């Protein structure tokens, strides 16, 4: 009976450990996937005016900002919701007007699925559209198939009324490329040269954002502070994490909630260890009395059973870790678990050694408490008088 209870204890620790490693690695994979998706479009640091929608670019010292340590590219941005038309198809999309440094940063280059990406070489009326925008407009990339689109910008200088079309300024552009990052960007964004956006919206020196791309090992938080020190209190800045804080925090919260739930399951499974050690101590009463009679101290006797409990935890954790790592490796190599209608065709997994250390630390703490406390209580209750007599 004791062996069966011990085996059940090992099984409980084994399942909890394996589940923790597999589930946390799955969350790590999703987190990394989200980072990669947003890294393909969002800058490392985004600066916007504190008041109003736009700022005057002539008041910003771009050369001084470029000289900040860790900054690779700086480029002003005009971002505005516009209406886009191709033949009889209409769609409301966010126009992002950017300069040459945006294309030099390669934020978009690796996500082009049709056509090309880069600054216009023969005019300033070429656009790169998201895959979802292209699908809605049914617009081709090649000129011979009519890749012309008409963009309607809302002018701030005109009052918008029910029958007033003067508030909308049309301008023609030609689709040069198509990008695909994730549905959020694909269905909403298209990119044009900043000179085109400026002329369409009659912005003159006005811009809506200032974006920074940093060097690989730059400290984005330190760079952010230096940027704000240069720009002053009229601007606010966000790192890439802060730009998508809700998404990252949600994933992180879900990850640790699952960890706590699995940890609670592990805690419940340790009751089997307590039961096993209790039965073992009571079953070995005669042997314990023999050890005491030949001079064994309470510490020596207690350690025998505590080590027994720790071994149960260690064996279960070791077996669980082996199976957990094996499952993650199989998924990483062979992509067994697929994701239908998703950005990737399989569930990504990443094993982080910090997670593994945390899991084993949790097992050690729970195992130590579930072994020491019941054994210490039983030894004191049943054999205290014998130790005092010796």
Question: What does the alpha-carbon distance between residue 257 and residue 358 come to, in Å, rounded to a whole number?
Answer: 14
Contact 210, 58 (CB under 8 A): no
Low-confidence winner among 108-112, 132-136, 217-221 (lowest mean pLDDT)? 108-112
Model confidence over 355-368: pLDDT tens digits?
999 999 999 999 99
Q: Which residues contact 244 (CB under 8 A, 6 or more apart)?
A: 34, 38, 42
Question: What does the alpha-carbon distance between residue 281 and residue 378 come to, in Å, rounded to a whole number?
Answer: 7
Question: What does the alpha-carbon distance between residue 113 and residue 116 come to, in Å, rounded to a whole number?
Answer: 8
For 234-241, what is the mean pLDDT?
96
Please report the pLDDT score of residue 254 as a whole number. 93
Q: Is the pLDDT of residue 64 over 90?
A: yes
Q: Is the pLDDT of residue 75 over 80?
A: yes
Contact 320, 16 (CB under 8 A): yes
Q: Is the pLDDT of residue 146 over 60?
A: yes
Residue 345: count other Cβ atoms within 10 Å of its Cβ: 9
**pLDDT tier at 166, thresholds 50, 70, 90:** low
Please report the pLDDT score of residue 157 as a whole number. 63
Pairing of strands 168-179, 126-130: parallel
**pLDDT tier at 4, thresholds 50, 70, 90:** confident
Q: Of 368, 378, 353, whose CA–CA distance to 313 is shortest? A: 368
Please report the pLDDT score of residue 159 as a whole number. 56
Cα dist from 301 to 211, 243, 311, whole Å: 67, 59, 16
**pLDDT tier at 311, thresholds 50, 70, 90:** very high
Q: Is the pLDDT of residue 332 over 90?
A: yes
Contact 101, 88 (CB under 8 A): no
Model confidence over 24-58: pLDDT tens digits?
999 999 999 888 888 878 999 999 999 999 999 99
Cα torsion 312, 314, 319, 323: sign: positive
Q: Which residues contact 219 (CB under 8 A, 6 or more apart)?
A: 70
Average pLDDT, the chain: 90
Q: Is the pLDDT of residue 342 over 80?
A: no
């Amino acid at each position: 009976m004791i062996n069966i209870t011990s085996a059940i204890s090992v099984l409980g620790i084994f399942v909890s450990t394996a589940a923790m490693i597999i589930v946390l690695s799955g969350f790590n994979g999703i987190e990394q996937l989200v980072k990669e998706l947003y890294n393909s479009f969002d800058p490392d640091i985004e600066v916007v005016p504190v008041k109003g929608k736009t700022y005057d670019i002539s008041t910003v010292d771009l050369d001084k900002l470029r000289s900040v340590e860790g900054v690779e590219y700086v480029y002003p941005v005009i971002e505005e919701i516009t209406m886009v038309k191709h033949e009889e198809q209409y769609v409301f999309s966010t126009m992002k007007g950017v300069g040459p440094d945006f294309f030099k940063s390669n934020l978009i280059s690796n996500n082009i699925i049709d056509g090309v990406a880069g600054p216009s070489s023969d005019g300033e009326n070429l656009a790169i559209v998201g895959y979802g925008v292209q699908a809605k407009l049914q617009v081709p990339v090649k000129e011979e198939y009519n890749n012309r689109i008409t963009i309607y910008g809302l002018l701030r200088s005109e009052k918008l009324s029910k029958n007033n079309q003067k508030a909308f300024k049309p301008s023609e552009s030609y689709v040069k490329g198509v990008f695909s990052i994730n549905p959020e960007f694909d269905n909403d964004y298209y990119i044009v040269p900043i000179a085109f956006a400026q002329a369409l919206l009659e912005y003159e020196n006005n811009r809506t954002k200032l974006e920074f791309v940093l060097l690989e090992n730059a400290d984005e938080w330190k760079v952010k502070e230096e940027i704000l020190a240069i720009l002053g209190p009229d601007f606010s800045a966000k790192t890439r994490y802060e730009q998508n804080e809700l998404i990252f925090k949600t994933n992180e919260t879900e990850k640790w909630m699952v960890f706590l739930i699995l940890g609670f399951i592990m805690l419940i499974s340790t009751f089997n260890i307590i039961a096993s050690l209790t039965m073992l101590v009571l079953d070995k009463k005669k042997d314990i009395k023999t050890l005491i009679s030949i001079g064994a101290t309470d510490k020596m006797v207690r350690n025998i059973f505590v080590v027994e409990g720790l071994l149960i935890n260690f064996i279960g954790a070791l077996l669980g870790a082996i199976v957990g790592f094996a499952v993650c490796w199989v998924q990483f190599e062979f992509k067994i678990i697929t994701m239908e209608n998703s950005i990737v065709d399989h569930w990504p997994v990443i094993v982080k050694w910090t997670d593994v250390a945390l899991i084993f630390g949790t097992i050690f703490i729970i195992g130590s408490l579930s072994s020491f406390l019941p054994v210490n209580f039983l030894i004191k209750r049943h054999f205290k008088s014998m130790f005092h007599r010796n």
